[in-house]
Structure 1
Amino acid sequence: MSLLARAAALDAADPLAQFRDRFLPAPSVIAYLDGNSLGRPLAATARLMDDFVRGQWGDRLIRGWTDGWLEWPLTLGDRLGAVALGAAAGQTVVADSTTVLLYKLARAAVDARPGRRKVVLDTDNFPTDRYVLEGIAAERDLTLVWITTDPAGGITGEQVREVVDEDTALVLFSHVAYRSGWLADVPEINRIAHEAGALTMWDLCHSVGSVPVRLDDWGVDLAVGCSYKYLNGGPGAPAFAYLRRSLQDSLRQPIQGWMGHRASFEMGPGYEAATGIRALLSGTPPILAMVPLHANLDLLAEAGIEAVRAKSLLLTDFVLELADEWLAPLGVEVVSPRSAGRRGGHVTLRRPGFERLLEPLWDSGVIPDYRRPDGLRIGPAPLSTSFTEVHQGLSVVRDLAEKIQ
């Protein structure tokens, strides 16, 4: 069977094929392979946005706050927790950006472990995670303990065991590494950190909506993630934060705003934190930016995260097959895990000079993205990407790689 025929057979057998038609068409694109960076918009999202502007905002105006907007950070958080995070109600909130929520939770975590001076992180984590912790370490006079991770791999339990001790306040890693797609063993790393008395925090940006997450079962303390990748929330869509219920009375986030007050509209002197997950709020919620999440969570709930993961693995297996057949002879190296148990939702291909490939690929209607050093990330989103689309996109990569040495 030819690779094209194989792609067609996989599409014919795909139980999620019907969902591709739910997304708005992109006439200039022949292969969108960047779902791990920015998801495609749903047709339902366009309708919801129009209805919201004309109806809830346009007609109800300020009355919309008492119609339910004030509760959206919590109700959407609970829905996200149930559909994608394995989190019981009352532990997830939608608000702010990933960076801001990282700061809130990490500062609260280190302050909740007074006397402990170390924070453990890895050298290849996403820049915002590293930058935020560098700033907190400077503020609180903490020591950062860096674990060197291979850009083609990711963090392991053995590495964590070597550095955590009774002086460790917090460990922070990504569930899926942004560069390689390495899928970390969250329960094992949590167990190791907890044995030392440290809190654990996870960045879920590259896993939520693609890889099953079970925050409650895994014993996660804190987590953050964005909603514009596999959740298709749109550019700059709000992030989410998870705070385990048993920690909500003892952790205090540092950005004290009126929405996190126990009685926001009393507007009195002095700050008194709200109880529960609401205390993670600070300013006015980004209501307009939350609208797409309603449609996207409906879609994910209908498809089911386990089915999404099953197709994701088939898609990335097919990427590996095409890379081995077409690109390896051209000097292209796969720098992502080949084992399904350790691979997230994307595959990174590497060859010196690959940065020169991105612009002609985009001009050709094939949209991956590029990460230094020399990495082309292929991130097919299971609900919007076909196997034939992956075949078409990788064939253009092959043709351009032959020309651009």
Structure 2
Amino acid sequence: MTDFDKTKQAFHLPQGVTYLDGNSLGPMPKAAKARVANMMADEWSEMLITGWNKAGWYVQPRKVGDRIARLIGAGPGQVVMGDTLSIKVFQAVSAARAMRPQRRVILSDSGNFPSDLYVAEGLARAVDAELRVVAPEEVAGAIDDTVAVLMITEVDYRTGRRHDMKALTQTAHTAGALTVWDLAHSAGAVDVDLLGCDADFAVGCTYKYLNGGPGAPAFIWTHPRHADAAQPILQGWMGHRAPFAFDQSYQPAPGVERMRVGTPPVIALTALDAALDVWDDVSMPDLRARSIELTQAFIAGVEEHCPDLVLNSPRDPAKRGSQVSFRHPQGYAVMQALIAQGVIGDFRAPDVLRFGFAPLYVDLDDVAHAVQIMAMILKDKSWDREEFHERASVT
């Protein structure tokens, strides 16, 4: 049984703050500060460039990838770290598209994160393909023999709607297509089972529920059956079979290692590695059960005490990730008023208040407090102040 009281103590949570925005940026694990400081003092300072060998910097992407693999239903040696999520999306989709050369369609849905759609749109232009976008509920019916790649974010960033990975992957395979799953709002939040669902490729970021810090590196997973066949368009030095042979032509490394591109961000990977220590004693079924408990309690509390808000997430927890969103015509101002009272969520245009429930550090007391503050703000209309309507650069 996972001790969530213990995991909460592993994080620095500012006094007086109820943090419900871990689906955008996780809080800092207490161990990360010392781990990064020690790396800089003992490794970078003293070892200089020899740290790539002596401190194991070069193999960090594989070692950290193995730690994430357990959390997403993957096996050892199947996940590698590095670069940004957009780059990993590009690599995965381009590799999958190349494996179905007679097909032109990259299929996605309108609930996908815009950045993924931007990447796919640019790729489609470059390789004479077509990006086809349908409503989330229309995805299964849109998979036909023209589709090369199904590119889906498992949990919708605005509504929290969760796609059925296993069912959609099976439908795609029956039609002869491959799947690319974005786990940005899944990894560390829900019980992902990539091998069990027979997915083809998956990518994800680590600064949300995995708490790796702002700009933490992304990960990419390739099913073992594709690992030595996938040929991404973006080929980098670190994905070469022998980087330090300095060959003029590219020879892909075996397995998922070919998905490495640039020099690993060692400091960021060190912080992420410290963050992953918290997961060593966490059961993913326990995590999912606690997530459902928290989100259900929040929905019940808001609907009882905040009648001005309209639920924007699936009511059935089986169809929802670990986030809940509500709509309000003045959603931005309401969220700013909440943040001013120490309850931190975020806003997504045009009118969505979004709340993430990370079981590692959010508990039922946090849920009750957030509902209480929200009810107060809506009742006295304290959100309707000039400073709360002024849009910041990041919402």
Range of TM-score over shorter length: over 0.9
Q: Which residue of 2 aligns with 1:400?
A: 377
- 2:206, 2:182 → 1: CA distance? 12
Q: What is residue 110 of structure 1 aligned with on the other side?
A: 97
Give the Cα separation in 2 of the matches to 1:145 and 1:250: 25
Q: Which residue of 2 aligns with 1:19?
A: 7
Aligned residue number for residue 33 of structure 2: 46
Q: Give the aligned partner of residue 50 of structure 2.
A: 63
Q: Which residue in the other structure is 2:223 paired with?
A: 244
Structure 1 runs (4+) greater than 3 angstroms displaced = none
Residue in 1 that maps onto 2:191 = 212
Deviation per CA, 1:40-85, whole angstroms, max 9, x where unpaired? Answer: 1111111111111111222222111012111111111112102x01
Gaps of 5+ in 2: 385-395
The whole-number CA distance in structure 2 between the counterparts of 1:258 and 1:268 is: 10
Work out the CA distance in 2 between the residues paired with 1:278 and 1:36: 28
The range that moved more, 161-170 or 312-321, is: 161-170
Alignment partner for residue 75 of structure 1, among 63, 73, 85? 63
8 Å CA contact 1:193, 1:199 repeated in 2: yes
Assess if the C-alpha contact under 8 Å between 2:90 and 2:119 holds in 1.
Answer: yes
Task: Tell me which of 261, 273, 280 is aligned to 2:240.
Answer: 261
User: 1:198 aligned to 2:177?
Assistant: yes
Specify the alignment match of 2:139 in structure 1: 160
Rounded to whole Å, the distance in 1 between the matches of 2:102 and 2:316 is 41
Amino acid at match of 1:392: H
User: What is the SS of the residue equivalent to 2:189?
Assistant: coil
- The one-letter code matched in structure 1 to 2:333 is R
**Conserved? CA contact 2:2–2:281, under 8 Å:** no
Q: Which residue, out of 320, 330, 336, partners 1:359?
A: 336
Moved more, 387-396 or 187-196: 387-396
CA distance in 2, matches of 1:363, 1:324: 22
After TM superposition, give the deviation of residue 175 of structure 1 in Å.
1.1
SS of the residue 1:207 aligns to: coil
Within a 5 Å distance, the mapping from 1:23-38 to structure 2 comes to: 23-27=11-15, 29-38=16-25
> C-alpha separation between the residues in 2 aligned to 1:310 and 1:162?
31
For the structure 1 residues 219 and 14, does the alpha-carbon distance in structure 2 shift closer, same or farther, using more than 3 Å as the test?
closer
| 1:183 aligned partner, one-letter code | R
Match of residue 391 from structure 2: none
Deviation of the 1:32 alpha carbon:
0.7
Which residue does the alignment assign to 1:332? 309
2:123 to 128, 132, 136: 136
Shift of 1:368: 0.5
2:97 is paired with a residue whose SS is helix
Which range moved further: 65-74 or 352-361? 352-361
> RMSD over aligned Cα, in angstroms?
1.5
In 1, Cα distance between equivalents of 2:313 and 2:335:
19
Structure 2 CA distance, aligned partners of 1:117 and 1:50? Answer: 49
Code of the residue aligned with 1:362 in structure 2: it is: I
Q: What letter matches 1:313 in structure 2?
A: I
Q: Show the 5 A alignment for 1:94-109.
A: 94-109=81-96
* CA deviation profile, 1:122-166 (whole Å, cap 9, x unmatched): 1121011111111111111112222123xxxxx4xxx33422222
User: Which residue is equivalent to 1:319?
Assistant: 298
SS at structure 2 position matched to 1:179: coil
CA displacement, residues 71-103 of structure 1 (integer Å, 9 cap, x when unaligned): 111111112102x01111221111111001001
1:30 touches 1:393 (CA, 8 Å); kept in 2?
no
Letter in structure 2 aligned against 1:325: E
1:278 aligns with 2:257: yes
1:349 maps to 2:326:
yes
Q: Shift of the alpha carbon at 1:300?
A: 1.2
Query: Which residue number corresponds to residue 290 of structure 1?
Result: 269
Q: Is the 8 A contact 1:208 1:230 kept in 2?
A: yes
Give the superposition deviation at 1:192. Answer: 0.4
- Aligned with 2:38: secondary structure? helix
5+ unaligned residues in a row in structure 1: which ranges? 1-12, 150-154
Distance 1:135 1:86 in 2: 30
Q: What's the counterpart of residue 388 of structure 1?
A: 365
- Name the % identity: 36
| Number of residue-to-residue matches in the alignment | 381
Aligned residues of 1:202 and 1:224 also touching (Cα < 8 A): yes
Q: Is the 8 A contact 2:287 2:359 kept in 1?
A: yes
Q: Which amino acid aligns with 1:233?
A: G
**TM-score w.r.t. length of structure 1:** 0.91
The answer to whether the 8 Å contact 2:62/2:80 transfers is yes
The one-letter amino acid of 1:181's match is: G
d(CA) in 2 for partners of 1:392, 1:164: 44
Contact 1:117 1:169 in 2 (8 A): yes
In structure 1, what is the Cα distance between the partners aligned to 2:93 and 2:355? 31
Q: Is the counterpart of residue 377 in structure 1 residue 364 in structure 2? A: no
Contact 1:20 1:385 in 2 (8 A): yes
